[in-house]
């Protein structure tokens, strides 16, 4: 399994902004147009468009043409690549912590 570092960097940089994370969260519930996405925010539609551009460049979302509508969609595979990057680190950490849990049980028995 190879990881494209450039894509990872762009992905993480794209997610390093609260507005863009909120847009991703919204799109995880289904596709939406720029107007629909901009609605809950107090920033201009142009600003939202720029954020979407960043997400698109990072490969996290795609935009299709549907007549006059140009809905944005999540690219789940790209998000998965980002989460698996941290998830395996997490697995390693959690495995160690569970071993510590087990040793602590023994230590607690000795202490009581």
Binding site for other proteins (CB under 8 A): 1, 3, 5, 8-9, 12-16, 84-105, 107-108, 111
Left, alpha or beta for 66 (phi > 0: left; psi -120 to 50: alpha)? beta
Nearer to other proteins, 39 or 87 (CB): 87
Nearer to other proteins, 42 or 111 (CB): 111
Instruction: Write out the two tokens for 93.
Output: 């950490």
Q: How far is the CB of 8 from other proteins (least distance, A)?
A: 7
Q: How far is the CB of 49 from other proteins (least distance, A)?
A: 21
Nearer to other proteins, 69 or 98 (CB): 98
Cα 93 from chain centroid?
20
Q: How far is the CB of 14 from other proteins (least distance, A)?
A: 8
Separation CA 6–CA 9 (nearest Å): 5
Contact 37, 6 (CB under 8 A): no
């Amino acid at each position: 399994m190879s990881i494209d570092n450039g894509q990872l960097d762009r992905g993480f940089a794209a997610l390093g902004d609260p507005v863009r994370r909120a847009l991703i969260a919204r799109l995880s519930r289904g596709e939406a147009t720029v107007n629909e996405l901009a609605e809950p925010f107090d920033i201009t539609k142009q600003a939202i468009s720029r954020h979407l551009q960043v997400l698109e460049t990072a490969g996290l979302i795609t935009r299709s043409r549907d007549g006059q509508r140009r809905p944005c969609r999540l690219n789940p595979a790209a998000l998965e690549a980002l989460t698996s990057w941290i998830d395996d680190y997490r697995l390693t950490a959690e495995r160690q912590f569970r071993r510590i849990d087990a040793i602590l049980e023994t230590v607690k028995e000795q202490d009581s």
